[in-house]
Structure 1
Amino acid sequence: MARKIKTAEEILKEETGEVRSLRSYESYLISTIAIAWAFFQLSLASFLILDGTKTRAIHLAFAMSILFLSMPIVKRPPRFLRYFAATDKIPVNDYIFAILGAAAALYIAVDANGLAMRAGFPITRDVVFGFATVILLLEATRRSIGPALTIIALAFSAYAFLGPYMPQFMAFKGVSLNKYLNQISLSTEGIYGIPLGVSASIVYLFVLLGSMLDKAGAGKFFIDMSLSLLGRFKGGPAKAAIVASGFTGLVSGSSIANIVTTGTFTIPLMKKVGYPATKAAATEVAASTDGQLMPPIMGAAAFIIAEYVNVPYIEVVKAAAVPAFVSYFALFYVTHLEASKLGMRGLTKDECPKFFEVIRNGAHYLIPIFMLVYELVIVRHSPEMAAYNAVLILALIIFYQEIRKEFKTGGSKNFAAAMINSIKTIGNGLIGGSRNMVSVALATASAGIIVGVVGMGIGGMITQIVETLAQGNIFLLLLITAIASLLLGMGLPTTATYIVMASLTAPIIVNLGASYGFFIPLMAAHLFCFYFGILADDTPPVGLASYAAAAIADSPPIATGIQGFTYDLRTAIIPFMFVFNTDLILHNIYSWPLGILIFVMACFAAFAFTAAIQGWFITKNKFWEIPFLLATAFILFRPGTLLPILGLGEDMKYWMYLIGMACFGLIVLEQMFRIRLAKKA
């Protein structure tokens, strides 16, 4: 078991770049850079005023320097390249890479005025630094998140130069080296564009908050609280895993980190009450993947969506809330169905933590989260201000926690030890936040290369290609986008997948939808791309989330991924539904009662769909019940479908929920009657 858990932790370390066992002075060097990055980001949210370009450049410089010092060039080299794969020290070449990477990233900030004066006419020095920025960034990205994003960025870059030599249907006028560098690395249209800007100004603080919560021990509190509430129910550990992953997902942008934090505890408990290893791991995968759907952070994409759609951040939260909670409620139902099929029990009273004891020892962890939600939703502070204040509150709570702990064990004489432990915990949180941000910063910067190339004029050509493939069918257009997001997301982090697909296809979905006679809000198109980017995390054969959970559960990774994807089918249907029924993202819905009605009906729709997919409702489904369940789900997800069939006007749309609920009730009665007959027999 220990070996498998270690393997899961190694997967997480690869994601955060902690693959080297360094000598003490090297570890101190990286830690110092990480803490300096954290203080820089905190100062931006409080007193330091810098223009956006300089902020983005410094942000990227920190990420590049930490990455090159932490990750070797190659991981499994032939014998003659072993020097470049050193994990017990930092080779000289990586010190050089770190210095060059930071210098290249900072060039746009150091010579900002000169570049502005020479816009479009770079001198030799500009070309050298611009080219070095692209190459070093792509190398850092390759080391951090694998070759996929680097290859895609290189392919788009090559296309920018080779466009005139392509077949006619792909032909593009092409660009010069000067124009390419001016767009990509010497302005804010490429690498230093909106995604990196959001990463630098907002995302870091939320990731820092999540890291500090983790180091303070909040993850264990969330698990214990969930088990104390739900552990005794049928399949209780699985339901507890969902709640714990949801809480962790509030401020964590990584499904793998979520799995390692919560799955280490919940997966063995699921197996204990009767879940097969594969299904236990798949449940944790589905719960942790869905953690990225949960506002306020949503895998860092919420803030980028707000910038792209040009709406206040709170509008993204409003649009994302109903689909996210419906998905989580449906996953609860999946675990209930699995427990019913397998005849599982819950944990005993003695096996569950005591609720009031858990709350008494850990309720203080909820204060920063409540503070964050209060500032974002009630006071309507900016996301960076809300996250900054939550971090400050959490720092004070850590001091309180350590002082309370020391006073319990040794009295007031241990006050100095409590202060030292508090500072260590906060320091570890700062270091962890910076390490967790490295891959996000590099992914957003590298995705900016693709965005910049698209901005050079190939967007119209991509639209024509997609329109030809879709053949005037809006559903086929969405299916193409979904498949492309899943394939792309197998090798990319969620944020990078979303940025690439949103840049390429979100405007196409809106524009082609309008030409086909469908009104699709831009928000719905962006959320559609985002959802399928998330689902790629557990899509076989690459989904790293499945490998991490499988390592803990001692289950086959591919089988775990397949099982997790079947659980996530209830999430995959939701984006299609909110594209065709914008009520689900509360578009133009301003009434609380109506919003709650839409949410409740969507939950019943998700339950019906899940029951059809799982083959079990109250009892095992008959084959003819499955289409009836699917029809019920469709009516409840999109009640307007029945209006033209029944010859009714739009004002009768919400009355169609009665028909959907009647169908739902009929299936319940029919299966209950069937169970009663079986008992009599």
Structure 2
Amino acid sequence: MSKKAAGETDGSAVDDFIADTDTGGRAPERGFNRQVLWIVPLAWSLFQLWIASPIPYELGIFVVNNAQGRSIHLAFAVFLAFTAFPTTKRSPRHTIPVQDWIAALVGAFCAGYLYLFWDGLAARSGAPSTQDLVFASIGVLLLMEAARRSLGFPLMAVAAVFLAYVFFGSSELLPDVIRWRGASIERAMSHLWLTTEGVFGVALGVSSGFVFLFVLFGALLNQAGAGNYFLSLAFATLGHLRGGPAKAAVIASAATGLISGSSIANVVTTGTFTIPLMKKVGFSPAKAGAVEVSSSINGVLTPPVMGAVAFLMTEYVGISYVEVVKTAIVPAAISYVALVYIVHLEALKMGMTGTSRTNPVIFILSAVLMICVGIILSGATLWLAGQAVGLLDAALGAAATPVVVALFLALYVLAVRYAARGPELDLSVESMQHLPPTRDIFRSGVHFLLPLLLLMYLLMVERKSPGFSAFWSASFMLLVLLTQKPLRAFFRGEGNLAQGIHDGFSEAIDGLILGARNMIGLACAMAVAGIIVGSVTLTGIGQVMAEFVEFLSGGNLMLMLFFVAIISIILGMGLPTTANYIVVSSLMAGVVVELGAQSGLIVPLVAVHMFVFYFGIMADVTPPVGLASFAAAAISGGDPLRTGFQAFFYSIRTALLPFLFIFNTDLLLIDVTWQHAIVVFIIALIAMLIFAAGTMGYFLTRSRIWESVVLVIVALTLFRPGFWLDQVQPAYLSEPPAQIFDLAESAPADGSLRVKIEGMTLDGDFVASTFQLPLGAANGDGFSRLAQNAGLELVERDGEVIVDMIAFGGYAEQQGIDFDWTVTGVEVENDRMPKEVFYIPAFLMFGLICLLQYRRSQHEREAVA
């Protein structure tokens, strides 16, 4: 790509990169083609708002069920994939060729087939006609081509491999371990296209019901100017510090990542401003791009959206959205603070200076304090809003809702009036170095906080569904776009209200179109991921993956997790966030659960899904694919591979966290009190900062190798003190199988029992695993508690405890326990000293390093003086 004389990247090249990866590179300048790419995305956004609203149900007009909605949703996506994305890089960008029109119309028809022929398909369920199979087959092929255009080759290639396995899995060319009998066209297409098991399954349902609305909300928020507002706020707050632009990049990416849902979109949104400024203060192109990539990746891991994975996780894991947010918040928060610290250490190593001489320890403490205060203030605001709404509801009954809406709109008008007192923001790269005070910037966009508060209030306080919450938040954002400019003009006395109304209407339309075009690749990715998931459920390849990983690891738990991490990165290469998560979780989550249980490690399912999610996202960083790294390199002008390796080095802390919360689920706030949660956050934050210092080779001064090693050991001890305790005292004591009934009877209410069970499956495979059997309320004898709550009836026979009966649909059946399996032992928690005892030697070692480095830094300063 070309560069300007000043060393900055050519903005047009970046714009082309954004268009090619996000919205489609084709932009007809005039005529019917231009109108189509204006009208169809607008219609798609309006359709999604329509089906999410209560209006069709109130009026009884154009009511569609979930499956029909998915079909129309995919029809829009496939049509736009062929019209908005050129076939190749050399294909025309200013017109839509005839062959693309044909593919777009045929593909849209095939995708909409479920909606168009809904009654007929229902009548011949399980016995598809030749017409059904023909259009299903064409639909699968055109969907894969749509995904290739909008997302690149990797996802299509992965889907093609799985499709080949579906049809040719019985080939003698395949090893016996993965061979299966294969499927006919009728069976495969019925499963993948004509039912809700494949393409039109859970993933596309989440895309249609939740993800589109959140992407639309983010697009509207950004169109209103919120992205620039958050970016300016970050630069005004941190730009004066040592390495300030890099620190501002981290914070700005955190703010935009909350709503963007894409690491690549995050890179190009904030990186266009932050990367050139980082280069100006001394960061090399590779390091400037790597900082932006690392912070953008973290944005996807941060609630509330998490690249739309938060909503998929609720479906796949079967827990509430609030539980997903709770499990994700601590790892994301400590990882962000650590990245700010890494940037600070990098600035120290390069000898950078800033206009502020803030002590690094004071800076970190201030940053943590600001984050905690922000969380507390946000939580307090939401809680007070909930209390106020509750009081109004009790006092006014049914009339409370319109009163609450009126008060909220009045608050919005007051916020705009307050914001109108400040100047319009100049957000060019040059102006970022001379921004007004933070207070003035905060005031200029304070009304942008209201849509975010509304979204979080509906999700966290009212506990409404994600779709409901996103619909009303997006609707409010449309109102903001339509009214903020006329209101500002009115409050400033400028008088030109008509122009403000016109501009607001144009921006609202542009936001609706941009939101839909941002969804093209995402919707295609969700649908193609459905092909992969459908292939997994049809062929049973998931069990083969478990056997493959078990063979590679030789039964060693750490090796098993390492191989799962590597496979997750490989599977995630080149895939967007959501497709990435769907693929790696459908293939690898069950592997971790099964092999972990065989090693005696019982891991909550949400922890496993977080593990594969984290490593799947690391594929956006890791060469040779690393799409986020390529996006950053396109802006910085640096080498993509060097940028990717540097970003991976900065992201080591992110790669460490999944291993830690597999063994220490306290980090995910699973079954902890709020007091314990505060302690967990503080200790984990200290540990992550120490780990960052150890891996960067710099703390109070440049570290010696042995000091870095000690710092890493201290950090790992703080993260998982139970490791050392396990070496001294076992976590569980083994009791004979015959004691199971007495132990079940004496267990407390809502307790559980760790039981080792082994036996042969119907397929002839031997299984030996550990199960955590729920016992429910403390009433009845041990036999009854096991039967009623675990769905497991046991009998003693010839000195052994045997599985006699399995309740249909019960916990035992869900875990794969079968008849005539044998209980080999019962594990009882050992009464041992608290694991926190090992914090003492860890902090003593840390104190020793502090003392040594402080003395050495003093000598270095004296030598320089």
| TM-score scaled by length of structure 2 | 0.75
- CA distance 1:253–1:650, shift in 2 (3 Å): farther
Cα distance between partner residues in 1 of 2:239 and 2:168: 60
1:372-410 deviations in Å (ceiling 9; x for gaps):
122211221111111122212222222332114444787
3-state SS, counterpart of residue 169 of structure 2: helix
3-state SS, counterpart of residue 702 of structure 2: coil
- Larger mean CA deviation between 657-666 and 457-466 belongs to 657-666
Task: Choose which of 499, 520, 526 in structure 2 pairs with 1:444.
Answer: 526
Q: How far has the Cα of 1:324 moved from its partner?
A: 0.8
5 Å matches for 1:155-554?
155-165=161-171, 166-346=174-354, 351-407=434-490, 411-412=494-495, 414-456=496-538, 457-554=540-637
Contact map agreement 2:9 2:636 (CA 8 A) in 1: no
Q: Identify the residue that residue 396 of structure 2 maps to in structure 1.
A: none
Contact map agreement 1:538 1:564 (CA 8 A) in 2: yes
3-state SS, counterpart of residue 50 of structure 1: coil
Q: How many matched pairs? A: 671
Q: How far has the Cα of 1:650 moved from its partner?
A: 5.4
Cα distance between partner residues in 2 of 1:90 and 1:320: 43
Contact map agreement 1:447 1:500 (CA 8 A) in 2: yes
Q: Identify the residue that residue 155 of structure 2 maps to in structure 1.
A: 149
Q: Identify the residue that residue 27 of structure 1 maps to in structure 2.
A: 34
Are 1:129 and 2:143 an aligned pair?
no
Q: How far has the Cα of 1:644 moved from its partner?
A: 2.9
Q: How far has the Cα of 1:450 moved from its partner?
A: 0.9
Contact map agreement 2:568 2:588 (CA 8 A) in 1: no
Q: Identify the residue that residue 81 of structure 1 maps to in structure 2.
A: none
Contact map agreement 1:255 1:291 (CA 8 A) in 2: yes
- Larger mean CA deviation between 396-405 and 596-605 belongs to 396-405
- Larger mean CA deviation between 386-395 and 282-291 belongs to 386-395
Are 1:673 and 2:855 an aligned pair?
yes
Cα distance between partner residues in 1 of 2:687 and 2:452: 30
Contact map agreement 1:8 1:547 (CA 8 A) in 2: no
Give 2:42's aligned amino acid. I
- Larger mean CA deviation between 621-630 and 391-400 belongs to 391-400
Task: Choose which of 71, 78, 84 in structure 2 pairs with 1:64.
Answer: 78
Are 1:98 and 2:104 an aligned pair?
yes
3-state SS, counterpart of residue 10 of structure 2: helix
Give 2:119's aligned amino acid. N
Cα distance between partner residues in 2 of 1:483 and 1:14: 28
Cα distance between partner residues in 2 of 1:398 and 1:538: 35
Q: Which has the higher strand share?
A: 2
Cα distance between partner residues in 1 of 2:717 and 2:852: 19
Structure showing greater radius of gyration is: 2
Identity %: 44
> What value does the CA root-mean-square deviation take over the aligned residues?
1.9
3-state SS, counterpart of residue 488 of structure 1: helix
5 Å matches for 1:630-649?
630-647=712-729, 649=831
Contact map agreement 2:549 2:564 (CA 8 A) in 1: no
Cα distance between partner residues in 2 of 1:622 and 1:568: 22
Cα distance between partner residues in 2 of 1:395 and 1:632: 50
Q: How far has the Cα of 1:138 moved from its partner?
A: 0.6
Contact map agreement 2:483 2:501 (CA 8 A) in 1: no
Are 1:42 and 2:52 an aligned pair?
no
Give 1:555's aligned amino acid. G
Q: How far has the Cα of 1:635 moved from its partner?
A: 0.8
Cα distance between partner residues in 2 of 1:306 and 1:273: 43
1:155-196 deviations in Å (ceiling 9; x for gaps):
111111212223322210111111100110010000001111
Cα distance between partner residues in 2 of 1:272 and 1:459: 50
3-state SS, counterpart of residue 164 of structure 1: coil
Cα distance between partner residues in 2 of 1:288 and 1:167: 41
Unaligned runs of 5+ in 1: 77-84
5 Å matches for 1:70-89?
70-76=84-90, 85-89=91-95
3-state SS, counterpart of residue 459 of structure 2: helix
- Larger mean CA deviation between 458-467 and 354-363 belongs to 458-467
3-state SS, counterpart of residue 373 of structure 1: helix
5 Å matches for 1:583-598?
583-589=666-672, 591-598=673-680
Contact map agreement 2:22 2:265 (CA 8 A) in 1: no
Q: Identify the residue that residue 15 of structure 2 maps to in structure 1.
A: 9
Contact map agreement 2:45 2:515 (CA 8 A) in 1: yes
Q: How far has the Cα of 1:3 moved from its partner?
A: 4.8
1:114-167 deviations in Å (ceiling 9; x for gaps):
223322221111111111110110110111111111121111111112122233
Q: How far has the Cα of 1:680 moved from its partner?
A: 4.8
Cα distance between partner residues in 1 of 2:441 and 2:512: 26
Contact map agreement 2:593 2:602 (CA 8 A) in 1: yes
Q: How far has the Cα of 1:113 moved from its partner?
A: 2.9
Cα distance between partner residues in 2 of 1:446 and 1:231: 43
Contact map agreement 1:273 1:347 (CA 8 A) in 2: no
1:576-607 deviations in Å (ceiling 9; x for gaps):
11111111111112x11211211111111111
3-state SS, counterpart of residue 112 of structure 2: helix
- CA distance 1:651–1:379, shift in 2 (3 Å): farther
Q: Identify the residue that residue 648 of structure 2 maps to in structure 1.
A: 565
Give 1:617's aligned amino acid. F
3-state SS, counterpart of residue 511 of structure 1: helix
Q: Identify the residue that residue 361 of structure 2 maps to in structure 1.
A: none
Contact map agreement 2:542 2:588 (CA 8 A) in 1: no
1:531-584 deviations in Å (ceiling 9; x for gaps):
112111121222222222222222222211111111011111111111111111
Q: Which has the higher helix share?
A: 1
Cα distance between partner residues in 2 of 1:290 and 1:5: 25
- CA distance 1:188–1:215, shift in 2 (3 Å): same
Cα distance between partner residues in 1 of 2:241 and 2:483: 35
Give 2:510's aligned amino acid. N
Cα distance between partner residues in 2 of 1:530 and 1:111: 37
1:434-480 deviations in Å (ceiling 9; x for gaps):
01111111001001111101101333223222221221012112111
- CA distance 1:46–1:662, shift in 2 (3 Å): farther
Q: How far has the Cα of 1:660 moved from its partner?
A: 3.1
| TM-score scaled by length of structure 1 | 0.95
Q: Identify the residue that residue 399 of structure 2 maps to in structure 1.
A: none
Cα distance between partner residues in 2 of 1:364 and 1:329: 27
- CA distance 1:171–1:27, shift in 2 (3 Å): same
Unaligned runs of 5+ in 2: 57-62, 357-431, 731-830
Contact map agreement 2:239 2:433 (CA 8 A) in 1: no
- Larger mean CA deviation between 666-675 and 423-432 belongs to 666-675
Q: How far has the Cα of 1:12 moved from its partner?
A: 1.3
